[in-house]
Amino acid sequence: MAFLCANSSGRIYTRAISCWRPSLSLQPPFHLTAPSSARCTRTTMLASEDQKDDKPQLKTTDASTIFEYTPATRRREDLLAYAYFLYETWGSSVWAIFSSWTDPSVILVSFTFSFVTSFLLLIVLLASIAIKTPTLRDLIDRVCENDDGLTVVNSAYPQIFSWMPESVRKAAYDTMNKPQFESPSRMCRRVFDLDIAKVLLVISALMYERQKPRWSGVMLRRAGTARGRGNVKVSDWYIGKIAKKLGLNYRAITEMNSGSTICGAFYSTSGSDNFIILAFKGTQPDEFGEWATDFSCNWAMGSEYLRGYGSVHRGFYQAMFPERVSASGRTPYEVIRGALKDIATEMRNGTQGSQAQDPVNVFVTGHSLGTASATMFYARALQRPEDLGADINLRDAYLFATPITASPQSRAAFNNDMQRDPDRPRNMWRITNKRDAVATGLPDLGDLALHSQNVSERSQANFCHLGQEIKMRDYYNLSVTGPGTLVPKGTAVQIVSNVKQSNKDGFPTGVVNPIELPPLLKMAENIPMIGRFVQHAPAGYLHLLSHMRPTDADETLPWYGAADAIKEIVKVES
């Protein structure tokens, strides 16, 4: 779908959005409808291959409907989302009294969690309502203004899509093209590819440029101004335009039962590349329903779609495997796997030589809420390779700012699936920027073996992460790994890069084109509590990734244990 705006010269730009629907991933038992006064336009966007005037080509169709958003409509959505969050969270706490009356610790943790998260989300709710007012929204747009019309998420560092050196991109693509048997990882030695991580972070950040509209009145009013021109270009077309600069095609796949969350694929049909990047969009800052999902901590049994799993995060699980499917009769997972098979067929038809015989490699990535969706997809595809077919090979996942997703039982099932091929094991890397609030803010005692064995499976404190953590430090030194890991403690974990660069300008060998954050953002990162939310931004992740140095041949990452975690919390919060 596309939102049409024209500037003073008459040039038309679009903004891709979804059909109007509530943004709640929590699937409340109520249904919202578009306001009766909403104006509708039916359009889709077709990107022309020879766009000399750098604008998308449009045609009228009945494929989709666009509704005008008003501040009142968005406030109503937020209030309903918060009401449902209270219903779910406190309802679970009350139920814990009856279901866990023999284990007072479960009841105590449940009520403590409900109180803390309700208070925090109330603050987020008030902020969300405030920033949706036209005056404050316009002020935010002025502060975050940039020449490319980037969204608030990426405006902190507008150069994020032009930063990447060609040497890094080429090195990453060369590695992603290689077949599985050439992977350097072994059971006792895991390899984190720094080049791939940088490329996938940029792709994850690019997914934020796919937003649903605010309200058309403000956008139309600003469309005729030079300052408004960039903001209305945010669309699938814009993502495709940036993707082409990276040598890739882009295809939007599914909206994951949400008004703004989306899954997309990046790939090349040139015949020289043999990989697909599957990317999931993260939490949109002004989407309160997504923040409510991030900070909810309710269980669902995952065994229906994930064999051997116990409890998993309900919001994340039902976004991929909903209880009620869409009119098409397919879950988002079914839509994604079907799209991957179509793209793989398209790629193989355009590939010549030996690569035509190799399965297409699929790498998975996302940021924030997108990593939770990516985890659910990856877990199912890993268990059922027949879902993707013989022409597709699921490779590694690089996830940024990953929240807690499952119980220790589910983590054990996931680890077992990941170790199916001991000679060429797959890796799910979850990269954390210091004390990022989303990645480290919720109780995760399930990450620690001692606690996971002594805390009830039903306790909300017993969630854990899936995958191997890489925690980035704020200085030129090695990052660290653990806890809550995919591999046993003591396993060698190394950082590698195929970009050869000599030591110059005072940077360690292997550090290529490091960036510096804007002074205001860097200062905000050090504010107690608030800084943990600032650290969540993709710009903060790119900053530390660009400064990360590869390990030496005989060097491995130090282990980040529980004692170190406690020391760092005290240091950061003091």
Band (288; pLDDT cuts 50, 70, 90): confident
The amino acid sitting at 396 is D
Q: Residue 72 — φ and ψ, nearest 5°?
A: -65, -40
User: What is the enclosing helix (H) or strand (E) of 395?
Assistant: strand 392-400
Q: Where are the beta strands (DSSP E) in 427-511?
A: 428-433, 468-472, 480-481, 492-496
- Sign of torsion over alpha carbons 559, 562, 564, 569: positive
Please provide the size of the chain in residues.
Answer: 574
Confidence check: pLDDT of 261 > 50:
yes
Q: If we measure between CA atoms, which residue out of 164, 166, 183 comes closest to residue 361?
A: 183
What pLDDT, on a 0 to 100 scale, did the predictor assign at position 477? 56
The answer, as to whether pTM is greater than 0.85, is no
- Mean pLDDT is highest, among 221-225, 343-347, 560-564, for 343-347
CA distances from 327 to 99, 257, 331, 332 (A): 36, 12, 10, 12
Computed over every residue of the chain, the mean pLDDT equals 75
Cα–chain-centroid distance for residue 294?
Answer: 11
User: What is the enclosing helix (H) or strand (E) of 191?
Assistant: strand 189-193
What pLDDT, on a 0 to 100 scale, did the predictor assign at position 157? 87
Number of Cβ atoms within 10 Å of the Cβ of 245: 11
Mean predicted confidence (pLDDT) in 381-394:
94
Q: Tens digits of per-residue pLDDT, 19-43?
A: 333 333 333 333 333 333 333 332 2
Cα–chain-centroid distance for residue 348?
Answer: 28
Yes or no: say if 371 and 428 are a contact pair by the CB < 8 Å rule.
no
What pLDDT, on a 0 to 100 scale, did the predictor assign at position 69? 52
Confidence check: pLDDT of 341 > 80:
yes
* Coil/strand/helix, residue 52: coil
Mean predicted confidence (pLDDT) in 508-533:
85
Confidence check: pLDDT of 250 > 90:
yes
Band (483; pLDDT cuts 50, 70, 90): low
> Alpha-carbon distance 357 to 555, whole Å?
36
- b (16+ CB within 10 A) / e for 51-66: eeeeebeeeeeeebbb
Confidence check: pLDDT of 513 > 80:
yes
Mean predicted confidence (pLDDT) in 194-210:
94
Candidate from 87-91, 364-368, 464-468, 483-487 with smallest mean pLDDT: 483-487
Structure-block tokens of residue 511: 């550090």
Mean predicted confidence (pLDDT) in 539-562:
84
Between 399 and 135, where is the model more confident? 399
CA distances from 392 to 179, 364, 400 (A): 11, 13, 24
Structure-block tokens of residue 535: 């650290």
* Coil/strand/helix, residue 488: coil
Band (457; pLDDT cuts 50, 70, 90): low
What pLDDT, on a 0 to 100 scale, did the predictor assign at position 5? 41
Cα–chain-centroid distance for residue 432?
Answer: 12
Q: If we measure between CA atoms, which residue out of 530, 521, 574 comes closest to residue 123?
A: 530
Partners of residue 415 on adjacent β-strands: none
What pLDDT, on a 0 to 100 scale, did the predictor assign at position 335? 93
Band (488; pLDDT cuts 50, 70, 90): confident
Confidence check: pLDDT of 249 > 80:
yes
> Structural domain boundaries of the chain?
156-210+235-573
Structure-block tokens of residue 138: 């316009």
Mean predicted confidence (pLDDT) in 229-242:
65
Candidate from 172-176, 212-216, 411-415, 537-541 with smallest mean pLDDT: 212-216
Q: Tens digits of per-residue pLDDT, 425-449?
A: 899 999 999 888 888 877 776 677 5
What pLDDT, on a 0 to 100 scale, did the predictor assign at position 545? 92
Q: Tens digits of per-residue pLDDT, 39-69?
A: 333 223 333 333 344 444 433 333 333 334 5
User: What is the enclosing helix (H) or strand (E) of 299?
Assistant: strand 299-301
Q: Where are the beta strands (DSSP E) in 10-136?
A: 12-15, 43-46, 57-60
Structure-block tokens of residue 569: 């919390």
Confidence check: pLDDT of 205 > 90:
yes
Band (480; pLDDT cuts 50, 70, 90): confident
Mean predicted confidence (pLDDT) in 149-175:
88
Confidence check: pLDDT of 214 > 50:
no
Residues 6+ apart with CB under 8 A from 135: none
Between 295 and 155, where is the model more confident? 155
CA atoms within 13 A on the CB side of 548: 28
Q: If we measure between CA atoms, which residue out of 223, 232, 283, 279 comes closest to residue 259?
A: 283
Candidate from 9-13, 196-200, 468-472, 518-522 with smallest mean pLDDT: 9-13
> Alpha-carbon distance 284 to 211, whole Å?
8
Yes or no: say if 511 and 493 are a contact pair by the CB < 8 Å rule.
no
Between 91 and 333, where is the model more confident? 333
* Coil/strand/helix, residue 59: strand
Mean predicted confidence (pLDDT) in 440-459:
65
The amino acid sitting at 204 is S
Looking at domain 156-210+235-573, which CATH architecture does it have? 3-Layer(aba) Sandwich (3.40)
